[in-house]
């Protein structure tokens, strides 16, 4: 067998296994250079693991958001838009009731989401229970996994107006523009309040800051 193999190698020297140029370079490296080369490869693999998912599926790594903050921002604006803050408001031929103009189907859906009859049609007349139903509804339907992107205030408003798929409906855009305008007035009022707060003297401080304490003789 050795004679045959030796004869074949003589006829075809290219078949003889020789170390590749890359392997020869790695073998000739000093320990420091070899370690540096391994570190480079590790960093490339690490970067690939971080960047490739962002490239292939950017929404999966979108900026995180907080339901609590979004709901606290949007629900007061929805109340102004729906009822101007009147808990006894009735609309849509008697179907929509309360601060947030909640329909019977929304009450039923919220109870389905919770898995128990937590609310009744009467709950719509109570401001606290109306807000609670709105929170459950929006927390359930406005999620990044469901709508395919990081939720915005627009998504919350449009889904409340148009149902679970309201964020896709062209008809809900006008509703969102109205809610957005209300949110802008909220921001303006907060800025004015902050400015006024900055102009108020500290509690217990005399308006004439230059006056010193009365001298006792």
Residue 30 lies in a domain: no
Whether 40 maps to a domain, the answer reads no
Residue 75 falls within a domain, yes or no?
A: yes
The whole-number average pLDDT for the span 34-56 is: 48
How many Cβ atoms sit within 10 Å of the Cβ of residue 59?
Answer: 12
Residues of the chain with pLDDT > 90, as a percent, come to: 53
Q: Which domain holds residue 175?
A: 67-194
- Residue 119 in any domain: the answer is yes
pLDDT at 166 over 80: yes
Mean pLDDT, the chain, whole residue set: 74
State phi, psi for 91 to the nearest 5 degrees: -145, 180
Rounded mean pLDDT of 23-38?
A: 52
78-105 mean pLDDT: 97
* Residue 188 forms part of a structural domain: yes
Residue 203 forms part of a structural domain: no
Residues 74 and 153: beta-carbon distance below 8 Å: yes
Q: Is there a domain that residue 161 lies in?
A: yes
CA dist 98 → 60, 156, 193 (Å):
37, 19, 29
CATH number of the domain that residue 89 is part of: 1.10.530.10
Per-residue pLDDT tens over the stretch 99-142? 999 999 999 999 999 999 999 999 999 999 999 999 999 999 99
- In this predicted model, what pLDDT tens digit does every residue of 186-209 receive, in sequence order? 876 665 555 545 444 444 443 333
Q: How much is the pLDDT for 79?
A: 97
Residue 37 lies in a domain: no
Span 57-69, average pLDDT: 53
Number of domains in the chain: 1
Q: What is the mean pLDDT of residues 75-101?
A: 96
Cβ-contact 98, 74 below 8 angstroms: no
Q: Provide mean pLDDT across the span 144-159.
A: 95
Note the pTM of the prediction, 2 decimals.
0.60
């Amino acid at each position: 067998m050795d004679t045959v193999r030796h004869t074949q190698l003589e006829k075809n020297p290219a078949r003889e296994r020789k170390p590749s140029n890359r392997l020869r370079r790695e073998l000739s490296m000093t320990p420091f250079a070899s370690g540096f080369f391994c570190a480079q490869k590790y960093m490339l693999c690490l970067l690939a693991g971080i960047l490739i998912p962002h490239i292939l599926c950017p929404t999966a790594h979108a900026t995180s958001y907080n339901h609590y903050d979004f709901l606290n921002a949007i629900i007061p604006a929805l109340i102004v838009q729906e009822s101007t803050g009147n808990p006894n408001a009735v609309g849509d031929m008697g179907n929509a009731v309360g601060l947030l103009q909640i329909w019977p189907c929304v009450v039923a859906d919220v109870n389905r989401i919770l898995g128990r009859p937590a609310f009744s049609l009467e709950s719509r007349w109570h401001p606290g229970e109306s807000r609670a139903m709105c929170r459950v509804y929006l927390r359930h339907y406005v999620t990044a996994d469901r709508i395919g992107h990081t939720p915005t205030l627009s998504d919350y408003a449009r889904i409340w107006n148009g149902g679970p798929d309201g964020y896709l409906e062209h008809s809900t855009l006008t509703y969102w523009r109205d809610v957005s305008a209300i949110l802008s007035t909220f921001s303006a009022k907060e800025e004015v309040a902050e400015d006024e707060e900055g102009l108020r003297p500290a509690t217990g401080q005399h308006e004439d800051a230059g006056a010193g304490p009365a001298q006792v003789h």
